Structure 1
């Protein structure tokens, strides 16, 4: 690790090189990465640590404490940086020397990247798709541990954007449904199984034609029938994966309703597994608070009022009340 006397050694790159900014707190002590770290100064970028050097906790914290909130990595090495962060994600998320807002940003960004890849590769029948699935498993395990920390849900919930994309929606549903099920005292193993189901609950939409999913107007009855196949399609896509019944329940039953009006099976009441009821509430809330091709986002108060007044026969009302309390405690409302 360079000392302060080597901090201003000449940079090996030109001013025209492309860089990305990252927090110095994301460079974890003792973990090697295949990327070099630079500081930005008036006359360009200076090399602070090469890929062969390790940060120490003292040097990393000193940068942050002296107001250096950004260090820089060559854009050409961004892939190596993202691999490094994901490899050390669990350690960074649980490190209390890193401010909670920084860890929340990391959690949010990595989760979006991982779910986006899963949707783009369309699980699960190739080596790349199996690797994508393993990334989701690893993230959910690490993410559940992080979400058990005090105020972690609040920190991440503040980062939720309301521009609807299916992969982002799945991450949000994971976040909300995990918070709901935590309030019931679910143990970590069960939360991981539910979290995985929440992440994958709309994976079946990857086989629905995009012109239907992104249609700006109302769907025809035929188009609606096609969209309504996505829970079953999702089960088909995941059939060869080592998933628990709890995970499958989230994928298959998240559009079932308490009054039996849902799909694909029209099951009702408490015959709907609790994990699927939680995903259903999270799914509705996030969809309605997001801009979609056919409807503008409603604000959270409007959505919760609509769910209470117009969906009281469809959702688990006791669970809904818990969810309102969770959102209120996170200052989302």
Structure 2
């Protein structure tokens, strides 16, 4: 049911740039204290029934536009955007419903060329963080449930093609946070890794298998005491280092009852192996380490170095790559490292 008056066009009738199109953005509070967040009308698809209310901001007054289970038709959706209405509003208390809606329609959003790629990148990033945050805040370290596994797998299947686009990483680079959390780190490593796998010409199916391992590569850290995870590497005792080095094995154990492919398991288990054989847990070397694992290893170290942690300053991309090349000589497949630099150069973050 439409309760709002007809929307007015922006000056000149031109559409304005969308400020906050992604999962959640632009939160505002009405005069009566009700909180809303802003989303793009292009994120509301016809032939769907969102389980949240949509409001318009009419001169500072929030007016109900659609109720739960009502859908926009394509004409209305497009008209809002073309008339310069770059934001509609959803109740902050219905944030979870909106994120569920985005997740269900994620593939459709990412494939929709009418939505600018930078806005699709923001949607990808918001959805990814929401999923990973739930994984790391729900009943771990007992193990990853089949339900959560299926949810992550679906996310990977729906996003691999988008991440393979030449301009996706460039737009995601603007969103990458330099404040560390395990789930944001996992999102970054996944995005970097799929972009690099695509540069090697790996198929979508191969990217899905290895990408699932990349997004879950640090899940075993849920079994490591927080006191160890929060220390800088130089502060760890030999005993603490030994416990930390068990996280790849813990990760595989936590996923042992799930239908992971060998490619996914390899990434989780071997992502701390080194090309010179001095890594862990097995000391595997050279091309005996699968290509996808060598790719994830480079992405993992790069993101760790460029992210601030307790008592550890984030390096610039240039500083991180320089340290990887000079201080960790022998750690990486040089061809993978060089190709990663080229991928980053195309994203304009080196």
Matched residue, 2:70: 53
- Is contact 1:35-1:51 (8 Å) kept? yes
4+ runs of 1 displaced by more than 3 Å?
1-8, 122-126
Provide Cα deviations, 1:259-296, integer angstroms capped at 9, x if missing partner.
11100001111111111111100000000000012311
Alignment of 1:1-333 (within 5 A): 2=2, 15-122=32-139, 129-215=145-231, 218-333=235-350
Count of paired positions: 328
Provide Cα deviations, 1:142-190, integer angstroms capped at 9, x if missing partner.
1102113341221112211111111110111101111111111111111
**Using the alignment, how far apart are the partners of 2:184 and 2:155 within structure 1?**
15
- Is contact 1:124-1:130 (8 Å) kept? no
**Using the alignment, how far apart are the partners of 1:122 and 1:112 within structure 2?**
18
TM-fit CA distance, 1:123: 5.7
Which segment is superposed worse, 291-300 or 151-160? 151-160
Per the normalisation by structure 1, the TM-score is 0.93
**Using the alignment, how far apart are the partners of 1:116 and 1:279 within structure 2?**
20
Q: SS of the residue aligned with 2:294? A: helix
Where do 5+ consecutive residues of structure 1 fail to align? none
Where do 5+ consecutive residues of structure 2 fail to align? 9-29
Which segment is superposed worse, 264-273 or 21-30? 21-30
Provide Cα deviations, 1:51-72, integer angstroms capped at 9, x if missing partner.
2421122222222223222111
Q: SS of the residue aligned with 1:31? A: coil
Q: SS of the residue aligned with 1:48? A: strand
C-alpha spacing 1:52/1:280, structure 2 compared with 1 (3 Å): closer
Q: SS of the residue aligned with 1:39? A: strand
**Using the alignment, how far apart are the partners of 1:212 and 1:193 within structure 2?**
30
Per the normalisation by structure 2, the TM-score is 0.89
Q: SS of the residue aligned with 2:37? A: strand
Provide Cα deviations, 1:115-159, integer angstroms capped at 9, x if missing partner.
111122256868x83222211011000110211334122111221
- Is contact 1:118-1:133 (8 Å) kept? no
**Using the alignment, how far apart are the partners of 1:269 and 1:313 within structure 2?**
10
For the aligned residues, what is the CA RMSD?
A: 2.0
C-alpha spacing 1:123/1:212, structure 2 compared with 1 (3 Å): closer
**Using the alignment, how far apart are the partners of 2:266 and 2:216 within structure 1?**
11
